Amino acid sequence: MPNPTTGSLLVVSAHAGDFVWRAGGAIALAAERGERATVVCLSFGERGESARAWREGKNLDEIKAIRRAEAENAAAALGAEVRFFDAGDYPLRESPELVDRLVHVYRELAPTVVLTHTLSDPYNGDHPAAARMALQARVLAQAIGYDAPGDPLGAPPVFFFEPHQPEQCDFKPDVLLDITPVFDRKRKAMECLPAQQHMWDYYTDLAKRRGVQLKRNAGPNLGLPHHTLGEAYVRVYPQVTGALA
Cβ of residue 51: shortest distance to a copy of itself, in angstroms? Answer: 5
Q: In this chain, which of 5, 34, 55, 57 binds a copy of itself, going by CB under 8 A? A: 55
When asked if residue 34 is in the footprint of a copy of itself (CB under 8 A), the reply is no
Helix (H, G, I), strand (E, B) or coil at 132: helix
How far does the chain reach from its first CA to its final CA, in angstroms? Answer: 13
Closest CA to 92 of 143, 52, 131, 135: 131
- Whole-angstrom CA distances from 152 to 110, 137, 143, 148, 167 are 9, 12, 6, 9, 36
> Whole-angstrom Cα distance, residue 99 to residue 163?
22
> Whole-angstrom Cα distance, residue 45 to residue 104?
23
Cβ of residue 92: shortest distance to a copy of itself, in angstroms? Answer: 11
- Whole-angstrom CA distances from 231 to 63, 77, 217 are 29, 18, 13
Q: In this chain, which of 3, 6, 34, 57 binds a copy of itself, going by CB under 8 A? A: 3
When asked if residue 105 is in the footprint of a copy of itself (CB under 8 A), the reply is no
When asked if residue 233 is in the footprint of a copy of itself (CB under 8 A), the reply is yes
What residues between 151 and 190 interact with a copy of itself by CB under 8 A? 152-157, 159, 164-168, 170-178
Q: In this chain, which of 97, 197, 225, 237 binds a copy of itself, going by CB under 8 A? A: 237
What residues between 118 and 147 interact with a copy of itself by CB under 8 A? 122-125, 135-136, 139-140, 142-147
> Whole-angstrom Cα distance, residue 181 to residue 232?
16
Nearest 5°: CA angle at 112, between 109 and 114?
Answer: 85
What residues between 69 and 88 interact with a copy of itself by CB under 8 A? none
**Total chain residues near a copy of itself (CB under 8 A):** 89
- Measured from the CB atom, the residue of 149 and 220 that comes closer to a copy of itself is 220
- Measured from the CB atom, the residue of 91 and 194 that comes closer to a copy of itself is 91
Cβ of residue 108: shortest distance to a copy of itself, in angstroms? Answer: 16
